[in-house]
Amino acid sequence: MRSSKKKLGARAPLNEKTIVIAGASSGIGRAAALAFAGHGCSLILLARRSQVLAELAAECLEAGARQALAVQADVTKPETLDNAVRIALESTGKIDIWINNAGSGAVGTFEEIPLHVHHKVIETNLNGYINGTYSVLPLFKQQGYGTLINTISVGAFAPEPYVVAYSASKYGLRGFSEALRCELLHWPDIHVCDVFPAYIDTPGFQHAANYTGKRLKLVPPVFRAKRVAKAMVRLARHPKDAVNVGETAGVYKAANALAPALFRRVVTGIMDNYFSRAKPATIGSGHLFQSGEKGTGVSGGWLPEKRPMRGSLLFTAGVAALATGLFLFQKR
């Protein structure tokens, strides 16, 4: 009986699945919630901002969700994640997919960013994912199936200057997932899926701590959060270990692997050049320690409504050419 239930749960159609999304209130998490809602899923939405979550839950129901519950939670507080598991079980009797997505960042030179701020970034981005997994994995084993989706970053393969703690957390997450897969070799219906987005149009910089004294801006090309959400829906249907989102994700990974010293000089030069010209901005910890009212949408406003700017496409082509050049240089 249990074996048949396990097989049924693992192979259930998407509209019968229960999905928990940590970090659902904005950006990629919000895009994922709306994408799964459109497929008729049951949703448990987690974030610190209860009012924003309540509004999102209503929006998800309008979009077609079978059920959408807003649960206030902080990924740095494991008891709130245990509570989310309890609520999911009480409302739907299972959890099919758990998405670790909450994230934060602090921008500035390593020594200018206060040490406790570095620690908070690690606590949210790395420990938060460990906490979420720790809460749901026993249930997955009890069920005999389940899919864990981790939103990581191309920054798990390519270093990013002036966000050292963020970079450390993303490299750490990649190791966390790979080691966890080793432990789950005897659980073929429990999957750990990593998503490695390139630079995505989200309100992330509206939330980030900023110790540069300069206005923060994403390096183009920038891709839409809906692309990441679509990748998550595909993983929910057909789990796999890792997917890249955005054409430049693979290019950055390859460039750093082929010529790391040159890659470091290029990316640091780009950032230094930007900060030398950027407009002034207030120094502060952003939403790192407590949630705020800014940045509640899917988009951060970096892209036009319709198609990416031509300049972004040209930049993508330029990065691809750089990677090809680095490859040829290594072969000499």
Active site residues: 166
- What the block records as the tokens of 321 is 């050419």
- What the block records as the tokens of 25 is 């209130």
Cα–Cα distance, 26 to 48 (Å, whole number): 11
Cα–Cα distance, 206 to 296 (Å, whole number): 10
Closest CA to 253 of 159, 151, 149, 126: 159
Q: Is 138 helix (H, G, I), strand (E, B) or coil?
A: helix
Evaluate the omega torsion of the peptide bond into residue 13 and state whether it is cis, within 30 degrees of 0. Answer: no
Q: Is 216 helix (H, G, I), strand (E, B) or coil?
A: coil
End-to-end CA distance of the chain: 62
Closest CA to 151 of 246, 254, 261, 274: 246
The widest CA-to-CA distance across the chain, in whole angstroms, is 66
Cα–Cα distance, 113 to 211 (Å, whole number): 6
- What the block records as the tokens of 230 is 């679509």
Name the strand (E) or helix (H) holding 91: helix 78-92
Q: How many CA atoms lie within 13 A of 68 on its CB side?
A: 25
